[in-house]
Amino acid sequence: MNAASQGIREAQEDDVLALTALINEAYAPAEGLLYDGLRITAAEVREKRGHGRFLLDVDSDGRLLGSVYVAIRGDSGYFGLLAVSPAQQKRGRGRLLVSAAEAYCRSKGCRVMTLDVVNHRRELLPFYIRLGYEVAGERPFDDERLKKPAHFVIMRKALAPPPSPEISALRTTALTAVTMLAFAANSLLCRAALAGGHVDATSFTTLRLASGALVLRLLVRARGSPPPGARPGWDSAAMLFVYALAFSLAYVRVPAGTGALLMFAAVQLTMIGAGLRAGERPRALEWAGLATAVAGLLVLTRPGLARPDPAGAGLMLGAGVAWGAYSLRGRRRANAVASNAVSFARAVPLALGASALSALLGATHLALPGVLLALGSGALASGLGYVLWYAALRGLSATRAAIVQLSVPPLAAAGGVLVLGESLSARLLIASVLILGGIALAVAGHRR
C-alpha cells in the first residue's frame, strides 16, 4: 500500500527507537552481508543527532516512511543513512528525502553536497548520478564489524543558490503563460483537425494519447524520475481514455471556444461536487459562485438559434467530468509526471481498440495534416504542456492556480476566431462571463 506522505520534519528524541528500527530494516537486505550485527544502534542515532539532523518522511498516522541524516561541514553539506521502509521503496521517497536534505543544507548556506557510498553498493551510483552527483574520490572504511574489506566512494554535487524572488516570479509567470497557451491549443488543434475533415475522432484520439505517452516517457527517463508510487490503476487510464475520446468526438460538432468553456465548467463542477460528497461545507460566497456558473451553463445550452450542438455539448460535458475524475484520482500522487506517463501508456491500448472498431465500421480516414495536428496535440499541448504546468504549480498558490486556468476558455475562443474563422456569439460571451465569473467567485470564497 502506498501511504500518503504528510511532509518532511526533523526527528525528535521520541523518534529515536522507531528511526533506529527503520534504518536497520531498510539496510538489512543489501548490507546484511557486509556487517555483523545491526547497521546502527539507538545510541549511535542519538550521537549523530548531536552533530546533525535526521529528516523524516511520515504518513498521516505518524508512521515513518523514510529518513535521511544531514550534517553541515563548513560550506559543505553531507547526507547519509538514506533509508526508506521496504514497503515504500521504489515510490520516489528516496528522491524526496535527498531533495529535502539538499534544501536543508542550502538554507544553511552550503554550496556543495557530499555523500559516501560503500563500494559494494555500486547499484546506488546510477541513482545518485541521475540526481546530479559525480564521483569525487574514495576514502577508507574502517569498521570492526565489516565481514570483508570495503571503502567509501565519495560523491559530490554543487548546490546552486536559490533564485531571487524576482527570477522565481518571472519563471513562474513564463511557465504559466506557456502552459495556458498549450491547454488552449489543445482545443484549437483538435477542432482544426476534426472540423476540417483531416482525420476521424478515434484516430485523432489514438495518435494524441500515443504521442503524449511517448513524450512523457522520454521526459521521465531524461529526468531520472522515479516510479510514481502506487501505480495508477486501469480505472485512471479508462477515465483518461473516455476524456480524450469524448473530447475528440465533441470537437466534430462544437466550436473551439464553446468546447473549451463547456469542458472547463464540467471539470470545475465535478471537482466541487467531489468536495461536497467528501463532506466539505461551502460558504455562502461559494454557493453563489456555483449557482452563477450553473446559470452560465444553462444560458449556453438552452434552446435557441446560437445553441451549441446538443450531442457535441453533451460529449464535451462528459469529457470534462471524466477529466475531473481523473485529476481527482491523481492529484495526491508524489510524482505527477510519472503517474501521467503510466496512465497515458495504459490508455493507448483502449484507444487502439476504439480505432479498430472504427476501422471495421469504415469510419477511419487519415490525412497528413490531421496526423500532424494530432501529434502536436499529444506531444506538445498535452505531454509537454502537463510537465510545464506541474513546474509552474511550484510557484503558484492553489487559488492562483485555479484562477489562471480561467484564461483557457477565452484563449481558445480568441484562437477560434483568429485562426479558425469561428464566430463569437453574444450567447457565448454572456455564458463565459457567468461561468468563469462564478467559478472565480467560488474559488475566492473557498480560500477566504
Cα distances (angstroms) measured from residue 186 to each of 234, 311, 378, 386: 24, 20, 8, 12
Q: How far apart are CA 82 and CA 98, in angstroms?
A: 8
Question: Bridge-partner residues for 59, per DSSP?
Answer: 5
Is it the case that residue 326 has pLDDT exceeding 90?
no
Q: With bands split at pLDDT 50, 70 and 90, how would you rate the model's confidence at 315? A: very high
Q: With bands split at pLDDT 50, 70 and 90, how would you rate the model's confidence at 101? A: very high
Tens of pLDDT, residue by residue over 33-87, are 777 778 889 999 999 999 999 999 988 777 899 999 999 988 899 999 999 999 8
Phi, psi for 109 (deg, rounded to 5): 90, 10
Q: With bands split at pLDDT 50, 70 and 90, how would you rate the model's confidence at 228? A: very low
pLDDT the model gives residue 230: 46
pLDDT the model gives residue 312: 93
Q: How far apart are the first and last CA of the chain?
A: 35
Per-residue burial over 312-333, b if 16 or more Cβ lie within 10 Å, else e, is bbbbbbbbbbbbbbbebbbeeb
Secondary structure of residue 84 in the 3-state scheme: strand
Q: With bands split at pLDDT 50, 70 and 90, how would you rate the model's confidence at 338? A: confident
For strand 64-73 and strand 134-140, is the pairing parallel, antiparallel, or unpaired? unpaired
Cα distances (angstroms) measured from residue 387 to each of 220, 308, 381, 395: 10, 32, 10, 14
What DSSP assignment string belongs to 58-75?
EETTS-EEEEEEEEEETT
Is it the case that residue 254 has pLDDT exceeding 80?
yes
- As a CATH number, domain 5-158 is 3.40.630.30
Q: How far apart are CA 324 and CA 350, in angstroms?
A: 19
For strand 5-10 and strand 53-59, is the pairing parallel, antiparallel, or unpaired? antiparallel
CA of residue 372 relative to chain centroid, distance: 26
Of the candidates 202, 256, 199, 251, the residue with the CA atom closest to the CA atom of residue 371: 199
Domain positions in the chain are 5-158, 165-447
Secondary structure of residue 229 in the 3-state scheme: coil
Q: With bands split at pLDDT 50, 70 and 90, how would you rate the model's confidence at 102? A: very high
pLDDT the model gives residue 311: 93
Tens of pLDDT, residue by residue over 406-428, are 788 888 888 888 899 888 788 87
Give the residue, 266 or 192, on which the prediction is more confident.
192
Q: Would you say 334 and 92 are in contact if contact means Cβ atoms under 8 Å apart?
A: yes
Range from 32-41, 201-210, 375-384 carrying the lowest mean pLDDT: 32-41
Q: How far apart are CA 300 and CA 159, in angstroms?
A: 53
User: Cβ of 212: how many Cβ atoms within 10 Å?
Assistant: 30
Q: How far apart are CA 217 and CA 342, in angstroms?
A: 8
For 207-228, what is the mean pLDDT?
A: 80
pLDDT the model gives residue 334: 52
Q: How far apart are CA 105 and CA 76, in angstroms?
A: 8
Cα distances (angstroms) measured from residue 31 to each of 40, 89, 155: 12, 16, 19
User: Cβ of 447: how many Cβ atoms within 10 Å?
Assistant: 13
Q: Kindly give, in sequence order, each residue whose CB lies less than 8 Å from that of residue 369, ignoring residues fewer than 6 positions away.
A: 193, 196, 198
pLDDT the model gives residue 349: 96
At 373, the amino acid letter reads L
Q: What percent of the chain shows pLDDT beyond 70?
A: 88
Range from 137-151, 179-193, 234-248 carrying the lowest mean pLDDT: 137-151
How much is the mean pLDDT over the chain?
85
